[in-house]
A and B are shown apart, each in its own frame.
Chain A
Amino acid sequence: MSPTLDTVYRHSEDVISRFVEGELLIIPLVAGIGDMENDIFSMDETGKEIWTRLNGEKSAAVIIQELEEVFHAAPDVIRADVLGLLDELARRRLIIAVEKPV
């Protein structure tokens, strides 16, 4: 499912993220050797700003709004970057969409 502006994401429990020497690294955890196919991911500046906001509370729309203030870039560009990265992270199961309460 592609992310929408209303989608809220949180980090997966099967992921470790860590700042090392100024770099944000995301490490998918695997329990068994048969499961392994993922590598370690490194985030660029935009990626860092997005990743740290994926706390299970902020929707994509809120993140886009906040990043517009941080980067002073065109809203369309920020929107494409955020939704694109969320889609990529979700596809790799590094983030999980939070279910909305009924």
Chain B
Amino acid sequence: MVSLSPTALIAIAGDVMQRGAILRFQARGASMSPFVKDGDILCIAPLTKHRAGTGRIVAFIAPGKQSFTVHRIVAHTRGHYLIKGDNHGSSSDGWVPAASLLGVVRRIERNGVPIRLGLGFERYLIALLSRRNWLLPLRRWLKKCPLYWGKRIDHER
């Protein structure tokens, strides 16, 4: 697999999205854990085919940094999106203009297996919890709690 700089990834993503195709690449970092993990393969579809809305995981150019970032929309107004990593406490990427959005994550693969958690209707709840800064405390609590789905989240770490 080719390793790309953020500049290269932005340029390529722009080209691919403009052609209405899908970009497939390997995610790096833990900012979207547990829903996207370091090494997961992400498939980004163009915004012309899939609407960006609250709860969607999107690829965008981070304001001020000019870096290629993949985080979740936690709120939106006309033309602007509040975007945040699922694993970020209270810090967000700020309000990002629609023009900085590159595409929408339509598929996550981990070890060759599609991961659906975080892309379905639960995305609205994740976005709500993340926006209110409850997602991280909830995850910490679940890790301590012997609930089935708490174990599931731990299991995915």
Interface residues of chain A, those whose CB is within 8 Å of chain B, are 16, 18, 20-21, 23, 25, 27, 29-33, 36, 38-42
Contact of B8 with A16 in the complex, beta carbons under 8 Å: no
Contact of A18 with B15 in the complex, beta carbons under 8 Å: yes
Contact of A20 with B21 in the complex, beta carbons under 8 Å: no
By secondary structure, the B interface counts as mixed
**Is B25 close to A, CB under 8 A?**
yes
A29-B4 contact given A20-B11, A20-B12, A40-B12, CB 8 Å threshold? no
Please count how many residues in chain B sit with their CB below 8 Å of the partner chain's CB atoms: 21
Give A40 to B45 CA distance when docked, in angstroms.
16
Q: A20-B8, A31-B21, A36-B43 are in contact. List 10 more A-B contacts (CB 8 A).
A: A16-B12, A16-B19, A18-B15, A20-B4, A20-B5, A25-B12, A29-B19, A32-B22, A33-B22, A40-B2
Interface residues of chain B, those whose CB is within 8 Å of chain A, are 1-2, 4-5, 7-8, 11-12, 15-16, 19-25, 43, 45, 106-107
B-side contacts of A20, CB under 8 Å: 4-5, 7-8, 11-12
Contact of B2 with A25 in the complex, beta carbons under 8 Å: yes
Minimum distance in angstroms from B102 CB to a CB of chain A:
14
Minimum distance in angstroms from A68 CB to a CB of chain B:
29
Minimum distance in angstroms from A82 CB to a CB of chain B:
22
B-side contacts of A41, CB under 8 Å: 2
Q: 9 nearest interchain CB pairs?
A: A29-B21, A20-B8, A42-B2, A40-B2, A16-B15, A33-B107, A30-B22, A36-B24, A39-B1
A40-B25 contact given A16-B15, A16-B16, A20-B11, CB 8 Å threshold? yes
